[in-house]
Each structure stands twice: as C-alpha cells, then as structure tokens.
Structure 1
C-alpha cells in the first residue's frame, strides 16, 4: 500500500493537472501494450498500435519492465507542459542520475546487456532513447490524443466539482476506487508498502487514460510529488474503451452519428453543458425534459462530442475537444 501523508499546507497546495501528460501516457501505454488484460478497453488499440509500429522499441522494453520500477527520468515534471517540453527535459538529464536510476531497474539485480550498454554509454545514448520514444508515441498515443484529452477533461470537471462542493478534503475523498482519503493520509493500492511525506510541497494529481488498477508515483522522494491515477471510466451504452476513438476518418459509424446532430435543440443542449453538467442540470439549462436531456446526451456521446462520467448517483457530462470545435464554428446550429 502507498500512503501519502499531508499537512495543512499540503492540503492547500493540492492541484489537478491541467492536461494529460504525454510522457506519462506514452510510458504507461507501453505497459498496456504488453498486458493481455482489459481486452474490452484496449484490445483493438493493441491490434492497431502493433500494426503501425515500424520503429525500434527494444531499449524501451528494457527500460520499462512489465512490472516494477521504471526510471523516474522517463517522466520529467516538465512533461505536463507538453510533449516537446518533456523531451527537452529528458534530453538534459545528467549522467549521474541516469546511471543511478538505471541501477534500480530489475529490483537491484544485474543489469541486462542492453541496460548495461545504456549505462556505459551515458547521455550519449539519449538520442537513441528519444528516437524510440517518438516512434512509439506516434504509433500508440498520438492517433488517440483527442480522446485522451476528452477523458482527462471530463475527469477534471468531476474533481473540480468536488473541490467546489467541499474543498480539498472532498476532492481527495472523491477520487476513483483504489484511492482512499483517511485524513490526513491518502491510501492507494500499490504493489509495494511505501510512505510518502509531502512536507509542505503539495501534490499534483495527474489523471491518466492508460493508468489502470493502481496509481503510480515517482520513486525518488526528493522529486516534485505527483500521483498519476486512473481516470474514471466513461459511462457509455456502446463502447467504453479506446475502440470508440479511432484516428480521424477511420470510423464510419462516427460520421453517420454526427448526421443526427443537425438541429436547434441539440445545439442548445450541447451549449448548455458548458463546463460540465449533470443530466438534471442539463435538462434545466436547456429547457427540456429529463428523458430528452438524457437521450440527446447519449447521441452526442456516441458521436464523440460529449464525455460522460459517473459521480456518485449522478452522471456528469462534459464537452470533448470535437464538441467544443463544433460549437466554436457553429457547426451544429440550425
């Protein structure tokens, strides 16, 4: 179990990441690619990703074991500002830190020949690592980025509501299963027994699409504290997995469903969602019945314009990047 210990200052410094972290998503997706579980969520994604992979990933495979520790330097704090910024930070890693963290891969046992080569080569090996990361990211993460963004935005909306309703205490208590707030300690299901003391530094909560079952944190206690946790699953009457988010132009059903959206009422309903709305709030804002609001939200969810997450006994609808683009252009108004 992981136990994160808060002080009063830490509670005041809890914050939600403003966007998905491309490096965390890339590294965690590499775990999902080799994992045979969660077929409903990732089955087709695995097939599509493998068919697109035409670059070397052997170094990544050595650095990221199927289980256990992977180097902290793969997910620098700067990554939350964007993919390129994160790669620049990784490019600047110092040789001493690189060797120190490589020594921890595999639980302290002797390094594999590939990792030994990397450790001996030091920072001169970083260009090869960056090439593998870029190639893998293009195949596995980039085609699905819009969907990943939508899921993280929906998660942020749900946690933001909890924060507004009851402050940091309610925010931490509202986190998905596997994370339990027992003030002043946040307990997380974890493969090892570990305590993290924040010591007034606060905590960055980073929801992740590819993080599953257990949260993840950095090994080095001196690095800026971050907790990467599984974003809540989307509520859907069709597909709950990444299969619902094909790269642009590859899903005929998405195109057919979009055709249902033309009309004044759905334009009003989509705009009424705003920064997030429950079904009852949506019905009230749009001036439609509860059943009608639910039906419109369902159609828009199938079309990729809305993401719906369950929060307690209610569901929270948020507009996806596609839905926001349509609203901005007035594409759904009649």
Structure 2
C-alpha cells in the first residue's frame, strides 16, 4: 500500500494537471510496450513498435522496466514539453544519476553505456536525449491528439467533483484503487510506501498510458505527484480500421516524421494557428513555425491572417500528397475576351476580363 499523509495545508494545495504530462506518458508508454498484442487499448500500437524496435526504444526500455523501479530523473517535475523534458533530463546531477541508476541496476552488471551515463559522460547523456526525442516522434507524436482528448475529458470530470464535493470527493473518486480515509489517501500499491506531504500539496496527473494502478515517484524529497489512469472508457490508441502511420512511409522519408505530422495535423484541423499545432503535437512553437514555413514555401500549405491571428490551411497539392496521388485539375475554359475602356495618353484605362458582368 501507498499511504499519502495530508495536513490541512496540503488539502488546500491539491492540484489537477490539465494537460498530458509528456514525461509520464513517455515513461508509461514504455511500460505499455510489454502489454499483450491482444490488449484492448495498446495492442495494435504495441505490435508495430515491439516487433520492430529501434536503438532508441531499446535504450529507453532498459531504463524503464515494466515492473519495479524506474529512475525518477526520467519524469522531471518542470517538463511541459519534449524540449524541456530533454533539457531537464540532461541537466540531472552526476550524483543523482549515479544513485538512481545504481538502484535500477541492483546487483547486475550494467552495460557500458549505462555505466558511462552514471558517470555523467556527456556523449551518453546526449545519446539519451536523442533517444527521448526520437521515441516521442515515433511512438507518441502521431497519437498525441487522442491522448490529449482523453486526459482533458478526465480533467473535466474531476474538476466537477472538486466543484460539487470539494477536495475530499476529488481524492476519493480518482480511481477504485484509491481510498480517502481522512487525513490519509490510501492507494493499492505493489510495495509499502509512505509519503508525507508536509505542506507541499499534491499534484494529480491523469495519464492515458497509466494502466492498472496509480503510480508515484520513489524519492520522497521530490515534488509529490500521483499519476493515475485517465482512460476510463478504454479508448484504443489506434481505432479499428485507422492506419497506424501518420502518412505513408515514403512521405515520412521525404518530409521527416515531425514535418509530416505537422502537415497531417493542419489537414485534419482546418484553418489552424501554429500555436495550436504545437500544443496538439507537443512540440515547441519555434519547431511548429519552422515546419510551417517549409511547408508553405513548397506549396503544401497556405498561410493567411485573420485579424491578429495567422492561420494555416493545406493546399490542394498538400492534400494530394497526403492521399498519395496527383491533384485533380479543374477543367480549363477559354479565356474571355479583354475589353479596353478609355483611351488617350492621359486617360483612364481599365481592362475587364468578364465584359458581360462588368458594371463599370
């Protein structure tokens, strides 16, 4: 069991995350890779990744076993996107790296790259950062809109509990494995763990990839969090009949996975802002702007301003590229005659291509 001890001050400092947490979704998705291929939510997603693992997936899977301890430095408290997640992980102190990796390894002999990482080797840390970025693009980027929708719906339900019944109702309703027994929150847990909040409050993080029981950090000195399952309706990550890839493999090779995802997102969302694209795909605003500029310069999207907002729309060429076939050209018609009105060296001259509709 996990026992979370509250004071009166802690009850007033309970918070509910409104957005998917990229660090926890990434970590728990690595756990989900060990799920059965028949899993109702993760099955088809897991099959594609687990049957064809790349070096990034293998490296991260070694750091995040599905049972037991995973290093706390993989889920930094201040990560609000993949760029800040990578920065926070790479900024982990050498002492903490050594301590947490030693707990992960236990009595086993660590692989050489993990030993180098524990020693703070910069090349090993940069390899970890690259693996985090690559895995997010390969495994999560395509599905971030669905993950966000599930987490947002859960957050709305729990916000209603808080409004109608207060914080105690909120704490008692987040999951069947959680019981509020004033002043202690009891959570069914695989090991015995005591968490004393000591006035720090508690951040509740609904997570799409959290499956089964809630989870928390091991180190009691870190900012207290409780991550719990958000997918109450067991919404599958890949709906039946939906293709797994963002676009076909050839287009991914042509544009790159992130740029292809931006094109796909703009196509699916209609006129949309760069900031909205960045939030849905969990990339930085600068990255979304850079991808949009390239897509615009190649004629795949158009950009127009509405009031003070810049919006992007996929062009017919972009739509055709996503569908994998040439755009259908409108039938050509003969150019209408040009009628000149006015003459003289200093007179006004106007040309009208549609004389029958001209009211000049």
What is the TM-score when the length of structure 1 is the normalising length? Answer: 0.68
**Residue 43 of structure 1 corresponds to which residue in structure 2?**
43
Residues 1:243 and 2:241 aligned together = no
* Aligned residue number for residue 224 of structure 2: 225
**SS of equivalent residue, structure 1 residue 223:** coil
C-alpha distance in 2, partners of 1:123/1:184?
A: 45
Matched with 1:131 is 130
Distance 1:194 1:44 in 2: 35
Q: Show the counterpart of 2:149.
A: 150
Q: Which residue of 1 aligns with 2:111?
A: 113
Structure index of larger Rg: 2
2:94–2:120: 8 Å Cα contact kept in structure 1?
no
- 1:2–1:189 Cα contact (<8 Å) kept: yes
Equivalent residues of 1:95, 1:123 under 8 A apart: no
Runs of 5+ unmatched residues, structure 1: 251-327, 329-334
The 5-angstrom pairing of residues 32-111 of structure 1 reads: 32-36=32-36, 39-50=39-50, 54-79=54-79, 81-106=80-105, 108-111=106-109
Equivalence for 2:9 = 9
Q: CA deviation at 1:227?
A: 0.7
Say whether residues 1:19 and 2:26 are aligned partners.
no
Asked if structure 2 preserves the Cα contact closer than 8 Å seen for 1:53 and 1:136, the reply is no
Q: CA deviation at 1:121?
A: 4.8
Q: Alpha-carbon deviation of 1:62?
A: 2.1
Partner-residue secondary structure (3-state), 1:34: coil
**CA shift for structure 1 position 139:** 1.4
Q: Which SS does the other structure have where 2:119 is aligned?
A: helix
Q: Distance in 2 between matches of 1:195 and 1:3?
A: 5
Distance 1:48 1:151, change over 3 A: same
Report which stretch shifted further, 45-54 or 28-37: 45-54
Counterpart for residue 332 of structure 1? none
Structure number with higher helix proportion: 1
Per-residue CA deviations over 1:175-224 (Å, capped at 9, x if unaligned) read: 12111111111111111001100000000000111111111111111110
Pair 13,122 (structure 1): closer, same or farther in 2 beyond 3 Å = same
Tell me the number of residue pairs that the alignment of Structure 1 and Structure 2 aligns. Answer: 246
Kept in 1, the 8 Å contact 2:15–2:204? The answer is: yes
SS of equivalent residue, structure 2 residue 199: coil
Instruction: Name structure 2 gaps, 5 residues minimum.
Output: 249-310, 312-360
Mapping of residues 188-207 of structure 1, within 5 Å: 188-207=187-206
What is the aligned partner in structure 2 of residue 269 from structure 1?
none
- Over the aligned positions, Cα root-mean-square deviation in angstroms equals 2.3
Give the superposition deviation at 1:123.
4.5
CA-CA distance at 1:124 after TM superposition: 4.1
- The answer to which structure, 1 or 2, has the higher relative contact order (CA under 8 A, 6+ apart) is 1
Runs of at least 4 residues off by over 4 Å: 50-55, 245-250
Residue 173 (structure 2) aligns with: 174
State the SS of the aligned residue for 1:206: strand
* 1:11-30: CA deviation from partner (whole Å, max 9, x where unpaired): 00000012101111011101
The answer to whether the 8 Å contact 2:207/2:231 transfers is no
SS state of the match for residue 18, structure 2? coil
> TM-score scaled by structure 2?
0.64
**Cα distance change, pair 10–38 in 1 and its aligned pair in 2 (3 A):** farther
Distance in 1 separating the partners of 2:211 and 2:205: 13
- 1:141 alignment partner, SS class: helix
1:47, distance to aligned residue in structure 2 (A):
2.1
SS at 1:112 equivalent? coil
* Counterparts in 2 of 1:22 and 1:11: CA distance versus 1, 3 Å: same
